Structure 1
Amino acid sequence: MTKSKAGRKGQEFSLEFRQQALLRAATEGVTTVARDLGLQPAQLYSWRAQARRHDQDDQEQRLELAEHARLKREVARL
């Protein structure tokens, strides 16, 4: 796991880096992983919240597409 840009302020991390960090945090603990990676624990919590929001948005979109398909079939049946 490598950081995509160096420097403290405004540092950016790749999606893969963030995902791997979150996977590790789920098993090893946020504080341990944050310390190991040189991050603040709040950064991992923020990434986790963003990932959950993204997952929820994806689920809502899938439900909307399923509803759209159902309505389309119903209209075709009429």
Structure 2
Amino acid sequence: MGAVYAQLSAKERVQIERWKLAKVPVREMARVLQRSKATIYREIKRNWFSDECLPGYDGYYGAAAHQKAANRRARQRK
């Protein structure tokens, strides 16, 4: 029987944001959240905020990441 995967929660994403600011290693984030390192790396890469108009605000923001993920899930597929 295959593994069942759960989406990251908003609470987990905010925690990742805090740890990222505190420069906590991804390996430690994954261990505490009981997630794969790849999941954390993918989450940060996929939901990284970047805007040419606001170059000083590039980074990972938990609330924005959760909204982006929700929008991707809600998008209609063909």
TM-score in terms of structure 1 length = 0.49
Which has a greater percent of helix? Answer: 1
Structure label with greater radius of gyration = 1
Which has a greater percent of strand? Answer: 2
TM-score in terms of structure 2 length = 0.49
Highest RCO, 1 vs 2 (Cα 8 Å, sep ≥ 6): 2
